[in-house]
Amino acid sequence: MRASAATLLIAALCAAAALAACKKAPPAPQPAALAPLPDVGEFLPPALDRPDYLGADACAECHRAIYDAWKRSPHGRSMAEASPDTVLADFSGPPASLPDGTVTVGHDGGGYFADIAPAHGPRERRKVDVVLASGRQHQLYVTRNDDGGLTLLPIVWSTTAKEWLPLSLYQAADLDPSSPNYFGAQDMTKGCVSCHLSQAYRHVTPDGVSSAYVDLSINCESCHGPGAEHVRRRRAGSTDEVYKDLAPLGSVEESRVCGGCHGFQLKRYVFPPADDGLPQTFVTSLLNPSLRPDGTQHLTSYQYPGHVLSAGFREKILHCKDCHAPHGLEARAKDGSSAVGALSNKQCTTCHEELVAPARITAHSHHSPATRCVDCHMAYSWIGDDDRRRQRTSDHSISVPHPAETVAFGTPNACTSCHDHEKQSPEWALQALRKWGAKNALGVRDWVETIALARKKAPAAAARLAKLLTDHDTVGYLKASALDLLDVLQPDPMLVPVLVPYTTDPDPYLRASAIRALDAYDPAGRERWRALGLADAHPYVRMETFTLVKDPASLTPRAIDRELSDVLESMSPPTDGLVHLITVRHKRGEPREALQLLDLLDRITLPREKERLHLQDVRARLQADLSKADGGAP
């Protein structure tokens, strides 16, 4: 389990103190004078340009039909205030039994509530303020804290099974307030809200700090960008356009617009649009165990990896909007016609015209015409391979079934997923495919095997990853995955020439991953690569490189100050970045500067975060070290 920021910070301070007590410490670096702390202004992160966003209602003035379609869509219903129109769960049923207690739900004239009775600890009542998720499979319920933060309640409503499920099926969520995983102490601003609502930001005033947002849903500006200037010009009668037309985007460019939320991001960064006006997307690679080696979702990682691994994407002929109406999100064909319900095959046959006739479908699929294209080529699998979660996701790589990969790596395949009720095995599926002469479905794909071997840290994995990186036909997402996986393998100096070209790649994700790998593979050149990363034009590369530096004394004052600026500009919230900087300053023997950073962290941190980070304990340790440095009492 990854240690929390609070644990790491306190551990760093304690370790420094212990070393000082056990042996004479080497001369500390001369303190680098801390530049004047930046004025964080009223909004964090400032890269969001909060005043430039107006919210979806401003768009309705001119785009009423689009606005109405969006309002009914899953995007328009991603989050909403709790009301009879938005709450889908049965709040009049029996208590929900959880592993560590019960939750009794109810509603009255004042709204909806949950009475929480842990097996150990006091009972409490929580009001349901907000609903999360449109309800296609689930709906979750949220309580709003005094500081504006949002916390998930410990139950989930399955809209398909019509039953309550424990939130602990999906994430740690204990009922007991004394537990480190107490649901009430968790802050959604580091998770769901980065995509389920729009333009989340931190409001900083002399009276305190609070969480806020522009729209409690996925609004127009989430895809189109800030609209204040566009609306100003339209209201003034100008036809000059500041918006980039998203309709003609190529598949790669479009994937950046959608992938920011439909791909799992390990860290919450907020960067201004790129030079082409489109969002900058940093999506987790196949190193992440939330994805299977074939790019399908093991946990809630969304559709981006599968899409960019599909043949249609590689050939630049398949776009998200070819299958999903961009505003209403209804299923549609590439020609724009409906593909809802019984028409679902049109999403495929508009291009694959040879399969329109039922007889051709039967000959192609070896199933009845009632079998849909997506049943075999976009098979559903259970999130977490756990049907108790009542949540399934479809394979957006649009591949043929690969039962041999199921045998080798445990990945799902359409044949046995669909015939699960018959308890059929992957070997049974392979036998049927051989009988049909489906040669493309019989083997194991080279890249899937490479990723699987690398995740198991097999001896041959590094050479296979290097082959992916030197193959011009490898898509960018697989290159990113290969670089990230090389970083966790035993370093091989022979691969340095393979990594070096990626340090100047146009993609900042690839540059950062290459520098991280070279930090281990090329010890002799380590300082060179770190210097290159710290001087990079993109803050993502600089921040990722900064975390590689294990000897804070080697950092220049400029690098430290620039990291502080990057963290405040681009991390949302900036908590973890500031914690790391405090640790760096302390390890450099600069408790005074560390305390200044702690003051800044304290000023822009929500009350619950201060408690979680034990800021009072951290302050006491830093003040004690400062007293020693100034010749005070030991």
Cβ–Cβ under 8 Å, residues 355 and 347: no
Q: Residue 37: its pLDDT value, please?
A: 67
Q: Residue 266: its pLDDT value, please?
A: 67
| Alpha carbon distance 527, 519 (integer Å) | 8
Cβ–Cβ under 8 Å, residues 301 and 266: no
Q: Which of 553, 550, 552, 519 has its CA nearest to residue 533?
A: 519
Q: What are phi and psi of 549, to 5 degrees?
A: -75, 115
Q: Residue 15: its pLDDT value, please?
A: 52
For the chain, percent helix, then strand, then coil, each to nearest 5?
45, 15, 45
Domains and CATH numbers, the chain: 7-21+28-41+463-629 (1.25.10), 79-196 (no CATH), 251-268+284-447 (no CATH)
Instruction: Kindly report, residue by residue over 501-550, the tens digit of the pLDDT.
Output: 999 999 999 999 999 999 999 999 999 999 999 999 999 999 999 999 99
Looking up tokens 């760096």 gives 584
3-state class (DSSP) for residue 217: coil
pTM of this prediction exceeds 0.85? yes
Q: Which residue ranges in the chain fall short of pLDDT 70?
A: 1-38, 190, 266-267, 632-634
Q: Residue 565: its pLDDT value, please?
A: 94
Q: Residue 449: its pLDDT value, please?
A: 97
Strand residues in 242-312 grouped as ranges (E): none
Question: Dmax of the chain from CA atoms?
Answer: 90
Instruction: Kindly report, residue by residue over 107-152, the tens digit of the pLDDT.
Output: 988 799 999 999 988 999 999 999 999 989 999 999 998 888 889 9
Instruction: Kindly report, residue by residue over 275-289, the tens digit of the pLDDT.
Output: 888 888 889 999 999
